[in-house]
């Protein structure tokens, strides 16, 4: 019960996987959330348990976009170990289509996963977290600059940054911190699905590189240890415009 507990949404691959492993290396218990990739999530949980400092790790299958799943996901994490010290809202979808090609269903799907779910999960987490806990929202530079061809994703991530700043004062009164991190363009499955955007990101980067998921994950774990920082948006990128 002395181990801290982290819940990672979208934890089966990419940045989510690196987050689970980074929290595990820091000695946390980890809840690895997934929707469909149960086998991949189970493999991540096993990796966490195999780490020298790793604590327990479990898989929580739930579609965070479904309202009926949001409260139970938080409550189950607390019920298992009696606490929740960090929620990382990492799960996201990106439908890279121009405005004219996006249906109402497309807009609603992106907003449900990328904006409404993190807001609802943060609200529920704040109800059960103890002072000293933290929430980290994974956003995107698209939410700060806007990305051509991804208007819904850009809008959702930008709004999530605004939510982070707006909620900070209210949560601070409970001793809970909330921050947002834009990790930069990474060579994950999501990044690999858009090769043109990936190469554009590399070309825009001052050093001509892409962001590293493990580095971003370790930054987020470190951020949970800084008691004086809340309401901030951190950009882990070197792109210049």
Query: Could you list the active site residues?
Result: 153
What is the spatial distance between Cα 198 and Cα 189, in angstroms, rounded to a whole number? Answer: 11
Residue 111 · residue 152 · CB < 8 Å: yes
Retrieve residue 106's tokens: 């497309």
Q: Which neighbouring-strand residues pair with 6?
A: 30, 86
Instruction: Output the 3-class SS for the chain.
Output: CCCCEEEECCCCCHHHHHHHHHHHHCCCEEEEEECCCHHHHHHHHHHHHHCCCCCCEEEEECCCCCHHHHHHHHHHHHHHHCCCCEEEECCCCCCCCCHHHCCHHHHHHHHHHHHHHHHHHHHHHHHHCCCCCEEEEECCCHHHHCCCCCHHHHHHHHHHHHHHHHHHHHHHCCCCEEEEEECCCECCHHHHCCHHHHHHHHHHECCCCCECHHHHHHHHHHHCCCCCCCCCEEECCCECC
Retrieve residue 92's tokens: 């996201």
Residue 204 · residue 241 · CB < 8 Å: yes
């Amino acid at each position: 019960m002395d181990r801290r507990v982290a819940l990672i949404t979208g934890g089966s691959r990419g940045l989510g996987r690196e987050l689970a492993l980074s929290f595990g290396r820091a000695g946390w218990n980890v809840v690895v959330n997934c929707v469909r990739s149960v086998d991949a999530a189970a493999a991540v949980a096993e990796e966490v348990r195999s780490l020298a400092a790793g604590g327990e790790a479990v898989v929580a299958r739930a579609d965070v976009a479904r309202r009926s799943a949001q409260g139970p996901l938080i409550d189950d994490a607390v019920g298992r170990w009696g606490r929740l010290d960090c929620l990382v809202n990492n799960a996201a979808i990106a439908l890279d289509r121009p405005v004219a090609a996006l249906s109402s269903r497309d807009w609603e799907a992106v907003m449900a996963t990328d904006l409404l779910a993190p807001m609802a999960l943060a609200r529920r987490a704040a109800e059960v977290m103890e002072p000293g806990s933290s929430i980290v929202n994974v956003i995107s530079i698209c939410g700060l600059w806007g990305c051509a061809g991804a208007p819904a994703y850009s809008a959702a991530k930008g709004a999530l940054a605004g939510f982070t700043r707006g909620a900070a004062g209210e949560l601070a009164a409970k001793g809970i911190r909330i921050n947002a991190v834009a990790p930069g363009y990474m060579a994950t499955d999501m990044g690999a699905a858009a090769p043109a955007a990936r190469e554009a990101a590399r070309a825009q980067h001052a050093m001509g590189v892409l962001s590293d998921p493990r580095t971003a994950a370790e930054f987020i774990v470190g951020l949970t240890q800084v008691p004086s920082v809340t309401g901030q948006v951190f950009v882990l990128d070197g792109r210049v415009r």
